[in-house]
Amino acid sequence: MAFSGTLGAKRGERRLLLLSDIGAGLMTKKRLSPWICAADDAPLRIRLASASPRRLELMRQMGLDPVAGGVDCDETPLPGETAPAYVLRLALEKARLGAQAGDADYCLGSDTSVVLAGEILGKPADADAALVMLTALAGRQHQVMTAVAWVRVADGAERSAVVTTDVWMRAATPAQLSAYIDSGEPMDKAGAYGIQGLGGYLVTRIEGSYTGVVGLPVAETLEMLSELMP
């Protein structure tokens, strides 16, 4: 997806716009965010099929203001299912279930897993499980895989992708990990850490999408939405 500064912006203002929109009457379109334009003046209704406050905040940072709510689906990995296939299946299932609410034009589903040597690390069941996960991750490289899936409600058209980021963690003592767990931050996060919070201390390097590690890769999410929009 290519971008370009808009020519003739008033008072030197510069905005980034999709090049694909320039030849299609861009200046007559309604701007939903700096990155997305609607084809007409109808309001764009978006549903986020997730109860994650982090994903909701990232969408709002994109200039989108969705209706948000989690959906019920079985998150047990299937026998022999690879990590990319697992997160993609869950993201699609969440988007499809959310679309059934009928209150949006587009529905977004997403799922994130931390993957260590091919093993999927979900959210810890308790403090002991969090300590086991963090001890395994400390001093090693792992992957964070976040799948994004959009459904266009009117006709069921879909776009989906898995974004993988390599993450390196520093070595940490049991006392440090226990203190981090006592903060409560790890308990609702895949892999038992949050890069955007106190857990950021544990991360020494990443290669890939920072927002994907947080829970929603911004660039890919917007690109797929733009592909679905008329």
Task: Find which of 14-18, 74-78, 94-98 is predicted with most confidence, using mean pLDDT.
Answer: 94-98
**In angstroms, rounded to a whole number, what is the distance separating the alpha carbons of residues 122 and 193?**
11
pLDDT digits (tens, 9 = 90+) for 171-187: 999 999 999 999 999 99
Q: Is domain 44-228 annotated with CATH 3.30.365.10? A: no
Q: How far, CA to CA in Å, does 106 sit from each of 33, 45, 227?
A: 15, 7, 12
pLDDT, tens only, 136-180: 999 999 999 999 999 999 999 999 999 999 999 999 999 999 999
| Burial of residue 120, with CB atoms counted within 10 A of its CB: 0-12 exposed, 13-18 middle, 19 or more buried | middle
Catalytic residues: 111
Q: What are the residue boundaries of the structural domains of the chain, listed by start?
A: 1-43, 44-228
d(CA 44, CA 59): 14
